[in-house]
Amino acid sequence: MAKTIVSYNVNGIRAAAKKGLVDWLQEGDYDILCVQETKAHQEQVDVTPFENLGYHHHWYSAEKKGYSGVATFSKQAPDSVVAGCGIEKYDREGRILRTDFGDLSILNCYFPSGTSGDERQAFKMDFLADFSDWVAELRKERPKLLILGDYNIAHTPIDIHDPVRNKKSSGFLPGEREWLSKWFDSGFVDSYRHLNAEKIEYSWWSYRAGARANNKGWRIDYQSVTENLKDNLKQAHHLGEAKHSDHCPVFLEIDL
The burial of 87, by beta-carbon neighbours within 10 Å (0-12 exposed, 13-18 middle, 19 or more buried), is given as: middle
Q: Is 150 a catalytic residue?
A: yes
Helices within the chain (DSSP H only): 13-18, 21-28, 48-52, 88-91, 118-141, 174-185, 191-195
Residue 143 CB contacts under 8 Å (≥ 6 apart), including other chains: 103, 226, 228
**From the CA atom positions of the chain, what is the Rg in Å?**
17
**Cα–Cα distance list, 122 to 90, 115, 176, 179, 233 (Å):** 13, 11, 11, 14, 34
Q: How far apart are alpha carbons 151 and 173 in whole angstroms?
A: 13
Q: Which of 31, 150, 159, 221 is catalytic?
A: 150
Q: How many helices (H) and strands (E) does the chain have?
A: 7, 14
User: What is the maximum span of the chain, computed from C-alpha positions, in angstroms?
Assistant: 47
Identify the DSSP state of 167: T
Residue 90 CB contacts under 8 Å (≥ 6 apart), including other chains: 84, 96, 112, 127, 130
Q: Any idea which residues carry the catalytic annotation?
A: 150
